[in-house]
Structures are given as structure tokens and as C-alpha cells.
Structure 1
Amino acid sequence: MPKFFMHLRDGTDEVLDHDGIEMPFESVAQAALKAARDCISGDVLEGRVELKYRIDVHDEDGDIVHTLPFSSAVAIVPG
């Protein structure tokens, strides 16, 4: 099974996933969505959400196979 790496980036800084996770390619988009929402939920608990981040998913060759901006991971519904 292929391994994918989910790197958190904002255009300036990055947090690299050195371990990766084995999964079928068809699961990459859903895994990135879950990872982004996990990050956002931690921000919500602290009272601040920054949507400038994205998750770039790389394959074992280092090629980007999926990108998910945090702004695409949630819907902001004003009251």
C-alpha cells in the first residue's frame, strides 16, 4: 500500500509529516479533510481560527497529489 505525507503549510512556515500514513490513493482527499478539521478544531477551542493554512499531501516520490486549503475544509455560517 502506498504511503502519503501530509504537510501543513501557510506559504511561509511548514510542519512536515516525516512519518506518513499508508492508505489507498482513493482515501487521500478524505484523510486531508479530516486532518485539516482536526487542526481547526484545536484552534476553535482556543477561540481563534486561521484559514491561511493548507495541507499538501505528497506521495513517496515527493510529488504533491492533493492540496486542501483550510478555507475549503469548513463552511463559515454567520449568525
Structure 2
Amino acid sequence: MPRYFFHTQIGEDIISDPTGIELRDPDAAWEAARDTIRAALHDPQDQARLMTACLMVTDEAGEVVLEFPFSEAVVLPPLDDPTRH
């Protein structure tokens, strides 16, 4: 199985993923990226700072497979949701 690495870019800073994870294909890497971002955004204190971040997924050769902006992983409640502020 191919190994994918999930590097986080926040402004000019990059937090590297030195170990990565084995996944079946790029679609699985996209799903893992989305889940990782949503977990990171779970803490309201970090949300504002992370909305400008991007998760860069690379393969074992270091080629960028996908770039996933944190802002694209946000799921807003429906407009008719009474808990929405």
C-alpha cells in the first residue's frame, strides 16, 4: 500500500509529518485529510488560527497528491437549524 504524508502549512510555517500512513489510494488520503482537519478544528480556541491553514498530502516520492485548505473542511449546520447562531 502507498504511504501518504500529511504536512500542515500555517502561513509560512510547515509542520512536517515524518512518518505518514499507509492508505489504499489518493481518495483514502483525501478522506483522512478531511477527518484530520475536522478533528483539529474541534477545539474552538484553535479554529480562527487554523482557518488559514492547509494540509498538504504528499506521496513517498515527495510529490504533492493534494492540498486541502482547512476552511474547506468546515461543515456548517443547515440554515433552519435552531442551534445555529
TM-score by length of 2: 0.80
Deviation at 1:48, TM superposition (A): 4.2
SS in 2 for 1:36: helix
**Alignment pair present for 1:9 and 2:13:** no
Q: In 2, distance between residues paired with 1:6 and 1:66?
A: 10
**How many residues are treated as equivalent by the alignment?**
76
**Alignment pair present for 1:36 and 2:21:** no
Q: Deviations over 1:53-73 (max 9, x none)?
A: 010000000000011101001
RMSD of the TM alignment (CA)?
1.5
Q: Name stretches of at least 5 consecutive residues in structure 1 with no aligned partner.
A: none
Q: In 2, distance between residues paired with 1:61 and 1:21?
A: 14
Deviation at 1:75, TM superposition (A): 3.1
Q: In 2, distance between residues paired with 1:39 and 1:57?
A: 16
**Alignment pair present for 1:21 and 2:21:** yes
Percent same amino acid among aligned pairs? Answer: 32
2:81 maps to none
Q: Which amino acid aligns with 2:30?
A: A
